[in-house]
Structure 1
């Protein structure tokens, strides 16, 4: 792992070790981490030992598997709680989830994926284990399509690459089809996702804009496809999510 010009290789390696852990890899062996980050086992072991002393990772005394330590929690809390979209959307989405009984999310774009900043689950939302920091594909989610709607076709192709992976048989997998969907989102002011990322689930979403009118985030209501696909119910939820997005946009300075 060569260091980038002007950076510190030791810091880069330590961060790479921490980033080896994720929602689908919560616990790892030393050899697993070494393979993921492309370092030798002995180097990886020393890095993990140092991070363990700093409380950034911890090792299970029985299995000897490593996991992220509680020492990262204060840093993560500062990052999330100080983010302007999180501050503006937290109460709005909490009330929205309670009012509709569904799940309410806010997310921003991080490179070629979206990252959730907050998630509230109403009683009718299937348990999804979506948490702050989790990521999801842009082209296969309602929020993601809202985020893409603020970009030009050329920018989207450069960002996403030539191929759009299929997550279900309903996922949009061509840029031409995605262009048409995003044009409709710009016209209507909201997005719909019907079982494109996971079967049985659907969502409606709306873009959040800043004081300059740029799309900086998206919010969504999600739940069982049977609930969101009912025409009268969907119309109500579209109104709810657009109003929530407008309230958050105004808190960010949009007119």
Structure 2
């Protein structure tokens, strides 16, 4: 039992050390030690072991550590095993190229959304990838679509006190109830500067073969590029069409859809 406990502790410590790099910055041994609450010698040994299997790598000049290439291999295998990612990847990439905007696909992970893939068009460039990152449900178009899978009681239990990120964030559950009802009626969600200033998006839910909302797809970018006042109908339609294509690949029968096919019109029974 003591051997098993020691092994478990080693694994937990190694995972904590890797977690210290999630902010994306290179770290000194002392930085990692302070972050995880371990002694510097213990942390140094853990980093040396992780370096030997390429889970971290050390800059020979600065001696700063960063995450290593073996994790990229693991992440690639993990994401390729996800059926939503496999169904959505090409659809999202094509839509980003067509619109020149960002296109993202995410699933719900407890009380946050989890990005499975993202692509940028020429009008919405990024110097980093979103895959694997998390964002709040209530302050994003993707999240509002994912919340549409829950009833009001479930949403309140999941998000007891929604956090404001800007002055535009909806944090009142009564307002969120109305927003979710609108998402279900028209088939897409919008978000304007609720998570970050200067950004907007339109998102649509993705369904599996049972008709359950299992993911969402969004079109996003700077306010001027998204231009919701003039393009909401167009972008809502494109998001729904792309999300439907992914849903069909997951076995969903679109003929039974309950969302608005011609955005801005009457909902289907």
Could you say whether these structures have the same fold, taking a TM-score greater than 0.5 normalized by the shorter chain as the test?
Answer: yes
Within 5 A, what are the aligned runs for 1:95-244? 95-127=94-126, 129-160=128-159, 162-244=160-242
Partner Cα distance (1:206, 1:230) in 2: 15
Q: Which has the larger radius of gyration?
A: 2
Specify whether residues 245 and 34 from structure 1 end up closer, same or farther in structure 2 by C-alpha distance, changes over 3 A only: same
2:259 — aligned with what?
Answer: none
Specify whether residues 25 and 127 from structure 1 end up closer, same or farther in structure 2 by C-alpha distance, changes over 3 A only: closer
Partner Cα distance (1:227, 1:176) in 2: 31
Give the stretch that moved more between structures: 113-122 or 229-238. 229-238
Give the stretch that moved more between structures: 202-211 or 146-155. 146-155
Partner Cα distance (1:113, 1:165) in 2: 12
Q: Give per-residue Cα distances to partners, 1:201-231, cap 9 Å, x unaligned.
A: 1000001111111111110000121343444
Partner Cα distance (2:196, 2:156) in 1: 24
Unaligned 5+ runs, structure 1: none
Asked if the contact 2:162–2:171 (Cα under 8 Å) also holds between the matched residues in 1, the reply is yes
Asked if the contact 1:126–1:224 (Cα under 8 Å) also holds between the matched residues in 2, the reply is no
Asked if the contact 1:166–1:173 (Cα under 8 Å) also holds between the matched residues in 2, the reply is yes
1:19 — aligned with what?
Answer: 19
- Deviation (angstroms), 1:163: 2.2
TM-score of the aligned structures, taking structure 2 as reference length: 0.86
Asked if the contact 2:123–2:221 (Cα under 8 Å) also holds between the matched residues in 1, the reply is yes
- Deviation (angstroms), 1:89: 0.6
Asked if the contact 1:168–1:197 (Cα under 8 Å) also holds between the matched residues in 2, the reply is yes
- Deviation (angstroms), 1:126: 4.2
- Deviation (angstroms), 1:83: 0.9
Partner Cα distance (2:60, 2:151) in 1: 51
* Count of residue pairs the alignment pairs up: 248
Give the stretch that moved more between structures: 223-232 or 27-36. 223-232
Cα RMSD of the aligned pairs, angstroms, is 1.8
Specify whether residues 218 and 230 from structure 1 end up closer, same or farther in structure 2 by C-alpha distance, changes over 3 A only: closer
- Deviation (angstroms), 1:92: 0.6
